[in-house]
Amino acid sequence: MLATASHPVPLGSSPEVGLSSAAVSALAQFMADSQALEEMAAAYTAADNLSADKEWSMDAFPELWGMSQFWNDENTARKLARECVSQAKGGTIVLISSPSVFLMLKKMGVPNKLLLLEYDSRFSVFPEFRFYDFARPLSLGGMKEQAAVVLVDPPYVNAECFSKAAQTTRALSGPDTKIIACTGWVVRHCAAETLGVKMINFRPGHAGGLATPFRAYVNYESKNPSFMYDPDPEDGDNDGTAFAGAGGIGTDA
Pairing of strands 214-218, 198-199: antiparallel
Q: Whole-model pTM above 0.95?
A: no
Tens of pLDDT along 195-236?
Answer: 999 999 998 886 655 557 789 999 999 999 999 999 888 776
Question: Of residues 232 and 131, which shows the higher confidence score?
Answer: 131
Print the domain residue range for 42: 21-49
Same structural domain, 32 and 119? no
User: What CATH number corresponds to the domain at position 105?
Assistant: 3.40.50.150
- Averaged pLDDT, 180-204: 94
Same structural domain, 175 and 119? yes
Same structural domain, 128 and 162? yes
- Averaged pLDDT, 18-25: 65
Same structural domain, 80 and 162? yes
Same structural domain, 112 and 201? yes
Same structural domain, 80 and 39? no
Residue 14 lies in a domain: no
Confidence of residue 43 (pLDDT cuts 50, 70, 90): very low
Sheet with 173-184: list strands edge to edge. 129-131, 114-118, 93-96, 147-152, 173-184, 214-218, 198-199
Alpha carbons 150 and 152: distance in angstroms, whole number: 6
Q: How many independent structural domains does the chain possess?
A: 2
Same structural domain, 81 and 172? yes
Same structural domain, 121 and 235? yes
Residue 58 lies in a domain: no
